[in-house]
Amino acid sequence: MSERRYDPTHDEWVTFATHRQDRTYKPATADCPLCPTRPGGPETEIPREHFEIAVFDNRFPSLSTTPPAPDVAGTDLVPVEPAYGHCEVVVFTEDHDATLASVGEARIRLLVDAWAHRFAALADDPRVQYVLPFENKGEAVGVTLHHPHGQIYAYPDVPPRPAREQRAAAAHRGRTGRCVFCDVVAQEIGGPRVVVEGSHFLAGVPPWARFPYEVDIWSRTHVGTLPGLDAAARDDLARVLARVLAGYDAFFGFRTSYLLGIHSAPVNVDDDERALGHLHLEICPPHRGGGKLKYLAGSETFGGAFLTDVAPEVAGERLRAAASTADVPA
């Protein structure tokens, strides 16, 4: 089964991809499908002995450009449609034991270019409306392949959370005539929640942080997408992201698990909707300190109302101190 079903009670689509039950699950290092193909060794997803960054189509995609017909018929109330879209894998390094925090600023800078290139290519598909690069890192968030990698999904509509951001941005613009994210950046610069302050990007614990040590990285100017960044801005994003990730590991004292997502303007939509989008990254570690994890419980899962037990100002101070002294590989 590979299909999308509409939920009329929440006005959103849910994707079913039952073939993903058979995807690779915690293979031994020698059997890692994301390592290079070594001479005399098994063929992996990457048919090269050496590489810097590799991008390829996911073998177990949730969305496909050639999706099968749905298994069930939809109704007027609950439409069903093929699960159209793109799912790509982005491998950050050939080093199986590295992390994005350890690969160095230069490699992250190359990754920013790779993200931007793939964003532009996927946005060229007229059936795509939203491109989402992301990384799931660490067993604490359920990762089943430990080789450092991320993914890029291209959706046929704007997913629920970015759609809520768009609606909130439209409401704020209607009230003030300004971009809500630009106003957030102006408020946060130099404040107690800032973690890393760059020339083009600002990283900080948002005042509304849903996770105890969430860090958002906002563009300081109104740029909608990664391809819209010039070279200097891409350099700065790499510097800021590298220091934030190094700061996490320095603060927690171990390789931090997290979810990282890049929110951008929608694509192939009208100019007004596209203009609402403001490029920003969200990094959400599940850790809350002392070896404890932040789980999504009843209030979060059923109410959508997040509860956290670390004040954003305290988290900002702690992460800022850690990031300022962390060893960031070049």
Collapsed DSSP state (helix, strand, coil) of residue 155: strand
Token pair belonging to 271: 């100019």
Sorted by sequence, the CB contacts under 8 Å of residue 112 that are 6+ apart come out as 226, 229, 234, 237, 238
* Adjacent-strand bridge partners of 152: 88, 133
How far apart are alpha carbons 96 and 85 in whole angstroms?
29
Rounded mean pLDDT, 108-131: 98
Do 289 and 310 meet the contact criterion of CB atoms below 8 Å apart? yes
Rounded mean pLDDT, 225-229: 98
Instruction: Assess whether pLDDT exceeds 90 at residue 21.
Output: no
The gap from C-alpha 287 to its chain's centroid, in whole angstroms, comes to 17
- Give residue 286's pLDDT: 97
Token pair belonging to 215: 């860090």
Q: At what angle do helices 160-176 and 180-188 cross, to 10 degrees?
A: 80
Instruction: Assess whether pLDDT exceeds 90 at residue 134.
Output: yes
How far apart are alpha carbons 281 and 133 in whole angstroms?
10
- Give residue 290's pLDDT: 87
Summarised one tens digit per residue, pLDDT across range 43-72 is: 999 999 999 999 999 999 999 999 999 999
How far apart are alpha carbons 104 and 121 in whole angstroms?
26
Instruction: Assess whether pLDDT exceeds 90 at residue 96.
Output: yes
Instruction: Assess whether pLDDT exceeds 90 at residue 212.
Output: yes
Rounded percentage of the chain residues whose pLDDT exceeds 70: 100
- Give residue 41's pLDDT: 87
Would the pTM count as exceeding 0.75?
yes
- Give residue 22's pLDDT: 83
Instruction: Assess whether pLDDT exceeds 90 at residue 25.
Output: no
Instruction: Assess whether pLDDT exceeds 90 at residue 108.
Output: yes
**Which pLDDT band holds residue 164 (cuts at 50, 70, 90)?**
very high
Which residues form the catalytic set? 149
- Give residue 1's pLDDT: 81
Summarised one tens digit per residue, pLDDT across range 229-281 is: 999 999 999 999 999 999 999 999 999 999 999 999 999 999 999 999 999 99
As a whole number, the mean pLDDT across the chain is 97
* Adjacent-strand bridge partners of 258: 137
**Which pLDDT band holds residue 23 (cuts at 50, 70, 90)?**
confident
Do 182 and 222 meet the contact criterion of CB atoms below 8 Å apart? yes
Which domains are assigned to the chain? Answer: 24-59+85-325 (3.30.428.10)
CA-based nearest residue to 1, from 17, 15, 13 = 17
